[in-house]
Each structure stands twice: as structure tokens, then as C-alpha cells.
Amino acid sequence: LKVIVEDMEAFREFMVNKLTSINHIGSTHSMFVINEVKHTTAITI
């Protein structure tokens, strides 16, 4: 599940009020992108 939120407070609100209130979700794991360094799919040949 990818979620885009305005800030960490919005993320916390999403986790507490939306995601963890769904039945059958036993645990969650979060990863954050601080800054995108490089975004390309090209391979130099």
C-alpha cells in the first residue's frame, strides 16, 4: 500500500484512524522517502 500524505501528522492520523481500525490487520511496517536522488529506468549500453 502506497500512501501520500502532507506531513507526518497526517500519516499518524491515517495510521491511527483509518488503517489500524480495519479488521484483520495485525501489524504494519512503514518506510519513508525523504528526498528522491535519482529516478530513471534507462540502462547505459
Give the C-alpha separation, 22 to 9, whole Å.
20
- Map out the domains of the chain as residue ranges: 1-45
Residues 6+ apart with CB under 8 A from 19: 1, 25, 28
How far is residue 1's CA from residue 18's CA, in Å, rounded to a whole number?
13
40 has a pLDDT exceeding 90 = no
pLDDT digits (tens, 9 = 90+) for 23-33: 998 888 898 88
What tens digit of pLDDT does each residue of 7-18 get?
999 999 999 999
pLDDT reading at 38 higher than 90: no
